Structure 1
Amino acid sequence: MSASGQAADEALLRLVREDLRGFAGYASARTHDLRGEVWLNANENPWANPADAGGGSRRYPEPQPPALREALARLYSCRQEQLLVGRGSDEAIDLLVRALCVPGRDAVLVTPPVFGMYAVSARLQDAPLLEVPLVDGEAGFEVDLEAVAQAAERSAAKLVFLCSPSNPTGGSVPLAGIAALAARLAGRALVVVDEAYGEFSDQPSATTLMDAHPNVAVLRTLSKAHALAAARIGVLVAAPALVRVLRACQAPYPVPTPCAELAVAALSDEALARTTARVAQLRGERARLQHALATLPGVRRVYPSDGNYLLVRFADAKTAFERLLAAGVVVRDQRAAPQLADALRITVGTPEQNDRVLAALDAKEAAA
């Protein structure tokens, strides 16, 4: 490693809790690369469960399945040593907060209204929570990056979470702004960009910033565009030195073998081509639904979105929510979220499902 690379690693590792910088974690039976024909080192059952036709589930899985890591590295254009695979993005969020934040001292910064797991993980770790609200303007909700930087500097935040595209508001954070924030907070904080909905956006991934800004980390998932929500495959792309620390803090066997095998199959060339086509179709439906919703009486505003959902303000959000439920359509009620007392979040569905949404909200059809 070059001197500059070593210095970057040392600066990044100073963000880790002092008591975890040399933490080795639990050494499981799969930690060491051992070879043999009779495996008697993990107290596994020698016979398969009667319901397990393939017999593979009697063995503990690889902690970080090699075939899956290889496929994910190709998908996200990064090196395998930059990847941490876990149980959805939620696990990576929790690991970051636990590994970097000393309880009661090191703060976590979020930009509400936003995905709630950042705040939940901070609460569980007793990490002070800093909130810099999104700004609702003509172009939609936007992050005030100057206010974020000032709040992070003033309160010694260790983690800054930027959701891009943001859930539930739909806006993306410009890469140039993320880069400037990371440069300003270098040596002070890790800037974590949550790109759970990145496939639905035209903006390049923030992983492209990581060579120049080692204190940028990116969250990705197979739950959304790849339609594998039940498999719970989440990914953190980060500097290898940080990935090693988080692996030591992670549970021994985070990725079940059936989930890993399904994910590898889903990342084949054929499956990826179909996923790409479906993402394109969803983006087209997003535009159609956005336009159609905006013409309905009782709809105050439909926000532009880079995700697979639309945030919609209503004159009477309660009635709109009830109409949709009566039509068998379940959407996300956002009325308890800050700045969203009149809003619902509607996931973009199939053309038929979207037509059903529009019919349920059309006052003329409801009256008929």
Structure 2
Amino acid sequence: MSGVLELVREDLRDFAGYASARSVTAAGPLRLDANESAWSSAADPAGSCVRYPDPQPDALVQALAALYGCGPERLVVGRGSDEAIDLLVRALCRPGRDAVAITPPVFGMYAVAVRLHAARLLEVPLVEIAGGFEVEFDRLAQVALEGGARLVFLCSPGNPTGNALALERVAMLADALQGRALVVVDEAYAEFSRAPSATALLDAHANIAVLRTLSKAHALAGARIGTVIADPGLARVLRRCQAPYPVPAPCAELAVAALQPDVLARTARQIATVRAERARMATRIAALGCVTRVYPSEGNFLLVRFSDAGAAFERLLQAGIVVRDQRAAPSLGDALRITIGTPEQNDRVLQALGAPATEAP
């Protein structure tokens, strides 16, 4: 048994999961094995959804493996990063015994999954420095070891902070937790960053897993396509812990279409626009009298502190603009997170916040 599989709950290491019709039977021209309807729906005359989908659609798995530069045996495709987070906590943490370490302020679904699976939550808050926020890696390793963590969630670029993590520090953390915990790097916003992906660490560190999604840069949030990239043995365990048919056929087809070369070229141009607009918005917002700080960001958003965040939030709402209120997050009682939109949308944000209509000469 590989070292990382020893982190899996003992009762799930040999768990077979549900053997769906699509996972155990051969293909044939007449399929009467899954109790599906013999007729297509009037709403789906082509019959594209009359059959259960492949649990891990091969065309999508191959396209994602090419996109992320890894072997398909490492991939688990599911319903967004949210399902991936849930699967990892479910498979590794024994309820009431094991813990999960996080670095708040950070994506709230980590703590939600921990609560739902009755694990313990360990928090090592980010430290604010001149350049933004940073993870206290040494402290995180100590807390994880002493607290019995089976999982450590990192977010790079961070949500809502926007900070990217140095791979050498992630690798050092994985070394410190070897045989004790899995280090999960959530890269939902990686396409907007120039930092290298933690997938580069997987061959040398079996106790690292990476989360990716098509929801952000690839503009498919409604399709709910997320991926865990992990040790092949761990990936097999996670697939067995999934619901029988996690990827609806229309969503898989849409995702494969989005990963064709011509669409990827358009996506790359949109990412370049986001980066340029992120820089422009950071400069313009920082010049506003109501703003006390704009944090550097490697994501498609900016974290902004205001002298009166509540008033700024209301001004934006009155202009028909909804941003993410961060005031309930640890240490962010005066902050809002603003997604980078189109240039025209960004101009509306600036106008609502009281910026001049044009840049000063």
TM-score range, shorter chain: over 0.9
Asked if the contact 2:284–2:355 (Cα under 8 Å) also holds between the matched residues in 1, the reply is: no
Deviation sequence 1:306-335 (CA, Å, 0-9, x none): 000000000000000000001110000000
Q: Letter of the aligned partner of 2:181 in structure 1?
A: A
How far, CA to CA, are the matches of 1:36 and 1:26 in structure 2? 22
How far, CA to CA, are the matches of 2:27 and 2:39 in structure 1? 20
Of 122, 140, 158, 2:150 maps to 158
Of 59, 62, 67, 1:70 maps to 62
Per the TM alignment, residue 36 of structure 1 is displaced from its structure 2 partner at its CA by: 1.4
1:3 match: none
Per the TM alignment, residue 222 of structure 1 is displaced from its structure 2 partner at its CA by: 0.1
Per the TM alignment, residue 10 of structure 1 is displaced from its structure 2 partner at its CA by: 2.0
2:250 match: 258
Moved more, 26-35 or 106-115: 26-35
Q: Letter of the aligned partner of 2:120 in structure 1?
A: P
Per the TM alignment, residue 33 of structure 1 is displaced from its structure 2 partner at its CA by: 4.8
1:114 match: 106
Deviation sequence 1:40-81 (CA, Å, 0-9, x none): 000000000011032121100000000000000000000000
1:345 and 2:328 aligned: no
Asked if the contact 1:170–1:304 (Cα under 8 Å) also holds between the matched residues in 2, the reply is: yes
**1:1-368 → structure 2 map (5 Å cutoff):** 10-362=2-354
**Corresponding residue SS for 2:304:** strand
Asked if the contact 1:334–1:343 (Cα under 8 Å) also holds between the matched residues in 2, the reply is: yes
CA spacing shift, 1:246–1:103, aligned 2, 3 Å: same
CA spacing shift, 1:364–1:195, aligned 2, 3 Å: closer
**Corresponding residue SS for 1:57:** coil
**Corresponding residue SS for 1:177:** helix
Deviation sequence 1:321-360 (CA, Å, 0-9, x none): 0000011100000000000000000000000000000000
How far, CA to CA, are the matches of 1:145 and 1:67 in structure 2? 38
CA spacing shift, 1:82–1:33, aligned 2, 3 Å: farther
Deviation sequence 1:158-210 (CA, Å, 0-9, x none): 00000000000000111000000001101000000000000000111101001
How far, CA to CA, are the matches of 2:64 and 2:53 in structure 1? 17
**Corresponding residue SS for 1:94:** helix
Asked if the contact 1:135–1:143 (Cα under 8 Å) also holds between the matched residues in 2, the reply is: yes
Q: How many pairs are equivalent? A: 357
Asked if the contact 1:105–1:128 (Cα under 8 Å) also holds between the matched residues in 2, the reply is: yes
**Corresponding residue SS for 2:83:** helix
Q: Letter of the aligned partner of 2:28 in structure 1?
A: G
How far, CA to CA, are the matches of 1:324 and 1:111 in structure 2? 29
CA RMSD in angstroms, aligned pairs only: 0.9
Q: Letter of the aligned partner of 1:119 in structure 2?
A: A
How far, CA to CA, are the matches of 1:37 and 1:293 in structure 2? 61
Asked if the contact 1:297–1:363 (Cα under 8 Å) also holds between the matched residues in 2, the reply is: no
How far, CA to CA, are the matches of 2:197 and 2:25 in structure 1? 33
How far, CA to CA, are the matches of 1:13 and 1:315 in structure 2? 49
How far, CA to CA, are the matches of 1:363 and 1:240 in structure 2? 51
How far, CA to CA, are the matches of 1:219 and 1:138 in structure 2? 28
Asked if the contact 1:107–1:128 (Cα under 8 Å) also holds between the matched residues in 2, the reply is: yes
Percent identical residues: 66
Q: Letter of the aligned partner of 1:68 in structure 2?
A: L
How far, CA to CA, are the matches of 2:356 and 2:79 in structure 1? 45
1:5 match: none
How far, CA to CA, are the matches of 1:254 and 1:71 in structure 2? 17
How far, CA to CA, are the matches of 1:226 and 1:104 in structure 2? 38
Per the TM alignment, residue 37 of structure 1 is displaced from its structure 2 partner at its CA by: 1.3
Moved more, 26-35 or 353-362: 26-35
How far, CA to CA, are the matches of 1:130 and 1:31 in structure 2? 38
Q: Letter of the aligned partner of 1:76 in structure 2?
A: Y
**Corresponding residue SS for 2:178:** coil
Q: TM-score, normalised by structure 2?
A: 0.98
**Corresponding residue SS for 2:327:** coil
**Corresponding residue SS for 2:78:** strand
**Corresponding residue SS for 1:179:** helix
1:4 match: none
Moved over 3 A (4+): none
Per the TM alignment, residue 35 of structure 1 is displaced from its structure 2 partner at its CA by: 2.4
Gaps of 5+ in 2: none
Q: Letter of the aligned partner of 1:232 in structure 2?
A: R
